[in-house]
């Protein structure tokens, strides 16, 4: 099943959700700011995206600037930061089976649905 990791307050995430709704396909919405993701879930998403954890970080978020910017962090540290501060996670993320994309721009989602 298709999953969208969604933040309803984010315009790009809402646009991504609309693309899924218009596709007519079944999908699950994961509001990751309400439903805390586990370390393993974030790691799986990163693996499916085929990126390093730092590429999933929103570096302009206050939590990043206040707690992590300029520090030497390994991949586990970065994933742990996303668990502690889920707003740091880039959005939306759409997963379909063994593929995933970050929906920026939202049209990218069409590649995997």
Q: 76-110 pLDDT, tens per residue?
A: 999 999 999 999 999 999 999 999 999 999 999 99
Task: Choose, from 3, 10, 73, 108, the residue flagged as catalytic.
Answer: 10
The two tokens of residue 62 are 């206050």
- Provide the pLDDT for residue 100: 98
Residues 56, 101: contact at Cβ < 8 Å? no
Pick the CATH number of 2-111 from 3.40.720.10, 3.40.1190.10, 3.30.70.20, 3.40.30.10: 3.40.30.10
Candidates 36, 31, 42, 39; CA nearest to 3 is 31
Q: What is the dihedral of CA 83, 10, 103, 27, to 10 degrees?
A: 80
Q: Is 112 a catalytic residue?
A: no
- Indicate the domain borders of the chain: 2-111
Q: Given pLDDT bands bounded at 50, 70 and 90, which one contains residue 7?
A: very high
- Helix count and strand count (H, E) for the chain: 4, 4
Q: 51: pLDDT confidence band, cut at 50, 70 and 90?
A: very high
| pLDDT number for residue 23 | 97
Backbone phi, psi, residue 89, to 5°: -80, 125
Phi, psi of 64 (to 5 degrees): -65, -50
Confidence band for 40, pLDDT divided at 50, 70 and 90 = very high
What was the pLDDT predicted at 55? 98
Give Cα 108 distance to the centre of its chain: 13
């Amino acid at each position: 099943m298709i999953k969208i990791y969604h933040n309803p307050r984010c315009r790009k995430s809402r646009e991504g959700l609309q693309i899924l709704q218009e596709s007519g396909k079944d999908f699950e919405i994961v509001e990751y700011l309400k439903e805390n993701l586990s370390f393993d879930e974030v790691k799986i998403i990163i693996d499916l995206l085929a990126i390093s954890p730092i590429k999933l970080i929103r570096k302009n978020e206050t939590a990043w600037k206040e707690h992590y910017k300029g520090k030497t962090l390994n991949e586990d540290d970065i994933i742990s930061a996303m668990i502690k501060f889920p707003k740091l996670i880039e959005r939306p993320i759409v997963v379909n089976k063994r593929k995933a994309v970050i929906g920026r721009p939202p049209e990218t989602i069409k590649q995997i649905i």
